[in-house]
Structure 1
Amino acid sequence: MDFSYVEFPSTVDLNVLKAYVDLKKCKLPQIHGLSWQDAGGYQVLTNQPKSLRHLVLDSIANNWNETPILEEVPRKEDRNYIVNNLDVNLPLKILSSRIQDEFFWRKIYQHRWKTLYYKKYNNNAEQPHHHQHRHQANTNETKGKKATRKPWINIYMERHLEEFIENVTTTDYEQENVQATLDICATYINQLEINYLQTSMDGQHDHIPLDFILSNLPELHTLRLTYCTKTIGMNFYLGCNVLSQRDTLLLARGLSRCHELLYFCFHNTKLEPHQLRLFAHSLDKGCHHLNTLALPHCALGDEGIRQFLDACHSESFSTLKCLDLTNNKLSAEGAYILSGVIKDLSLEELILRLNPIGSNGATTIFSILDCLPIKNLDISGCLLTGSITKSFMQLVVTNKSLICIDVSNNVLGKDFGKHLMKVIGFNRKIMNIDLHNTGLTQEHRNQFKEFLRQN
């Protein structure tokens, strides 16, 4: 069998082909002037000259930078051949405007980053949360909603822009260069995950302005951001991770222009009360479709959450479904302040883990949950004690929307487990209660798990 002029799909691995075809009895297509022969797995030069067709296609591929011809080629097989043999180091501006082929962008992504790993987000509006205890049964609601894979050109452009933002310094920042990058990438950017920013070396604590970048991303749905510094090395100085007043104003301005933002996570950055007030105003002003707000590890404190909520009004964040305030030094007072506002929202998920709200704070939160369509509640590591038993049992009996509750890493005691065993049968909605490290015996935890499987 002679396959030397057949255009195999480029995604077919040679080892897969060997499983179905005896290479001793056939010829495979040429690859970069070489042909595959079953000689120890090595490529050897072929004696067969290239066809005129392949010579022409090679010429097109080799001169593509000067004359980018692709759609003008009538045969799909020929277009695939050109794409498969294009130089991956061609200017990104030319490639993005002429090529949409999935395999090509997957190939150059792997060539640049030596991996095919990418954030497992899809094109659906809802984005996975950074910290979620998802019970298997909780996925039943999403069955039938088939996720569409994000195009590889989007995946490539998002990572390209992320690296550009993370590595540009305040001294090298020029709006013309940023605009040139955005002209190439902006239409493909649906999500950004900025893991660090370069700080200025003049002691002013400033970072690059994000307002211009965010204002030029009209399709941005997801933003994960931190102002921490990871690459400063020996140039470290106190305050290099601080969010300056200039940073605050510019970020707030940028957020007010993210009109399509659905998911915003600002993490691992200490936020002062006056900064939170400004961010709340900007998010409320510009992000009218926001469904997830996460501020984990930002040391908000009770005063910070008060300032944030004071900037809101009765119609603020009406679309919010998930609120994550992990590890923000909230006490029982902070829980009380929070409960007075979120009772008017449509929250489905509330995460307060690692906040020392104590049993009094948790009781306050429990008291308003019947007003919400809440499905997931995380109060792990919140210094709860056995005194929460009565209010928790009342929550289990009366609430009809909760599916998952996480009370792990709290000293609840064995009596808590005994009371829970008595009332758990009154709730047929809950599917998962995380009771790890609560003082309950393994036997009790297994009994609860077995019972909840019936829900």
Structure 2
Amino acid sequence: MVVAKTPIFEELKPPEKDFIEERLSLDLPLHVTASLVSDGVFWKRCCKQRWKLCDVSHYSHSWKRMFFERHLENIIELFIPGVTEPQAVLNVVPFCQHYVKRLDISQLLLPIKEPQEEEDVFKLNLEPENEVSESKMDHFDFSILLDKLTNLEELSLVYRVKQCGMNFEWKMFEMTDQDCELLAKALKSCETLKVLRLRFSQVEDKKCRVLVKSLLDHPSLRELDFSYNLIGDRGARAIGKLLSRSHLEILNLSDNKISSHGAQAIAHALSKNATLLSLNLHFNHLTDEGGEAVGGALMNNETLRHLNLAGTGVTWHTAVSLSKVLQRNNTLKSIVLSCNKLGDVGGKALEEAVSENIGLTKCDLGLTEVDEQSISFINEGVCRNQDSELRNEK
């Protein structure tokens, strides 16, 4: 092409570049525009044409990054195993790999079921359910892609179908064992990944352990979000091991099936951990046995800043344990204990601790049966610490 032989576009002044980009056809092939057209008006036009909502601030104010991230997301979300050729995804990689830093995949489609003859359906109904091949329900294979995205830092996945209509099946809302193995392989190869979110995907202990094994000693991972899954104590023990062999800063395990035993495993790792800043265990059934274990771990931890134990079945025993932490630990910035039965005893213990603490700037005690006077005193202490923090920042 003449343009390739005389690359004078970058030598033009900004108004001249805009003039040309405003008139470039949006139908130009990506292999041409990706390399020749820099971030600016042209890519803004491309985004505005395809999507109604375009908040470029979520993409470091780069229209080109927005286009390629969302373009790749759309291809993956509409990928039908057995129908869509994997090459349809891989063909885009050379153009987008330098711009894709985050992928937010909100659905993953299943293979299309072939219509069965009446006789085949009868035979299928006679077969035990566990003999039906699970591989037929596998989703997109991330192992063919992630190692090629050399700048990928954030990956958010949900194994679900957004609009299933009358074709609803529970398998539309979970990852298979094969999906898990392939994703684990992909995660291990993606050494630039800093944030992994895998939510609402029916991840239980077995799958959790497979995924965690691939993340041990990961060089870049800083945030792990496995919320809204089915992880129990065996999965929690694996995550405890991950805390001792990673540099995690944020861990979200909210709304799973972790009990006191799993909480104790996480607490044991927490007592020796020096990187974790935020731990979210809300809506797990920890009880006081688990809550007190976390409190005991924080007696030896000077790193954690945010702790969420909302709706975990703890009582005043855990509140007393945490009050002892607050009397000697000024690292904690926020504690959420809402939707637990702490009662007046728990409230008084926290009130006394907060009066001496100079670090806590948030203490959520909604729906805890703590009396209003104690809550008022705790809020005063928290506000005092907030004001002090603001003065120090100035």
Q: TM-score range by the shorter chain?
A: 0.7 to 0.9
Q: Tell me the residue number matched to 1:183.
A: 94
Structure 1 residues 433 and 83, CA, compared in 2 at 3 Å: closer, same or farther?
same
User: How far did residue 449 of structure 1 move?
Assistant: 2.3
Q: Tell me the residue number matched to 2:262.
A: 334
Amino acid corresponding to residue 343 of structure 1 in structure 2: S
User: 2-side partners of 1:358 and 1:247: how far apart?
Assistant: 33
Q: Tell me the residue number matched to 1:394.
A: 324
Q: Tell me the residue number matched to 1:283.
A: 215
Q: Tell me the residue number matched to 2:120.
A: none
Q: Tell me the residue number matched to 1:422.
A: 352
Residues 39, 62 of structure 2: 8 Å contact kept: no
Q: Tell me the residue number matched to 1:211.
A: 143
User: 2-side partners of 1:375 and 1:238: how far apart?
Assistant: 38
Q: 2:249 aligns with which of 315, 318, 321?
A: 321
User: 2-side partners of 1:334 and 1:73: how far apart?
Assistant: 61
Q: Tell me the residue number matched to 1:358.
A: 287
User: How far did residue 244 of structure 1 move?
Assistant: 1.7
Q: Which ranges of structure 2 fall in alignment gaps of 5 or more residues?
A: 114-133, 386-394
Q: Tell me the residue number matched to 1:264.
A: 196
User: 2-side partners of 1:105 and 1:413: how far apart?
Assistant: 57
Aligned length: 362
1:210-261 Cα deviation digits (max 9, x unpaired)? 1111121111111111212223333323423232222122111100111011
Q: Tell me the residue number matched to 1:193.
A: 104
**SS of the counterpart of 1:224?**
strand
Residues 315, 346 of structure 2: 8 Å contact kept: no
Asked if 1:98 corresponds to 2:36, the answer is yes
Amino acid corresponding to residue 339 of structure 1 in structure 2: A
User: How far did residue 438 of structure 1 move?
Assistant: 1.4
Structure ranking higher in helix proportion: 2
Amino acid corresponding to residue 171 of structure 1 in structure 2: G
**SS of the counterpart of 2:235?**
helix
1:380-400 Cα deviation digits (max 9, x unpaired)? 111122233321221221222
**SS of the counterpart of 2:294?**
helix
Q: Tell me the residue number matched to 1:450.
A: 380
User: How far did residue 331 of structure 1 move?
Assistant: 0.9
Q: Tell me the residue number matched to 1:344.
A: 272
User: How far did residue 429 of structure 1 move?
Assistant: 0.9
User: 2-side partners of 1:389 and 1:72: how far apart?
Assistant: 63
Q: 2:71 aligns with which of 138, 157, 160?
A: 160
1:247-294 Cα deviation digits (max 9, x unpaired)? 122111100111011111111111233322221121125x31211111
Q: Tell me the residue number matched to 2:228.
A: 297
User: 1-side partners of 2:355 and 2:182: how far apart?
Assistant: 53
Residues 198, 232 of structure 1: 8 Å contact kept: no
User: 2-side partners of 1:419 and 1:256: how far apart?
Assistant: 45
Residues 83, 111 of structure 2: 8 Å contact kept: no
1:346-396 Cα deviation digits (max 9, x unpaired)? 211111111110122110001011333111111111112223332122122
Residues 243, 270 of structure 1: 8 Å contact kept: yes
1:300-319 Cα deviation digits (max 9, x unpaired)? 11122234546x595x11x1
User: 2-side partners of 1:231 and 1:156: how far apart?
Assistant: 24
Structure 1 residues 64 and 90, CA, compared in 2 at 3 Å: closer, same or farther?
farther
Residues 243, 270 of structure 2: 8 Å contact kept: no
Structure 1 residues 389 and 101, CA, compared in 2 at 3 Å: closer, same or farther?
closer
Rg comparison, structure with higher value:
1
Amino acid corresponding to residue 277 of structure 2 in structure 1: E
User: 1-side partners of 2:248 and 2:4: how far apart?
Assistant: 50
User: How far did residue 434 of structure 1 move?
Assistant: 1.0
**SS of the counterpart of 1:453?**
helix
User: 1-side partners of 2:100 and 2:154: how far apart?
Assistant: 9
Q: Tell me the residue number matched to 2:304.
A: 374
Amino acid corresponding to residue 224 of structure 2 in structure 1: L
TM-score of the pair, normalised by structure 1: 0.74
Residues 343, 368 of structure 1: 8 Å contact kept: yes
Q: Report which stretch shifted further, 248-257 or 174-183.
A: 174-183
Q: Tell me the residue number matched to 2:392.
A: none
User: 1-side partners of 2:86 and 2:155: how far apart?
Assistant: 21
User: How far did residue 75 of structure 1 move?
Assistant: 5.0
Q: 1:234 aligns with which of 141, 145, 166?
A: 166
User: How far did residue 206 of structure 1 move?
Assistant: 0.7
Amino acid corresponding to residue 256 of structure 2 in structure 1: N
User: How far did residue 73 of structure 1 move?
Assistant: 6.9
Structure 1 residues 254 and 364, CA, compared in 2 at 3 Å: closer, same or farther?
same
Q: Tell me the residue number matched to 1:385.
A: 315
How large is the RMSD of aligned CA atoms in angstroms?
2.5
Q: 1:82 aligns with which of 8, 15, 20?
A: 20
Structure 1 residues 446 and 174, CA, compared in 2 at 3 Å: closer, same or farther?
same
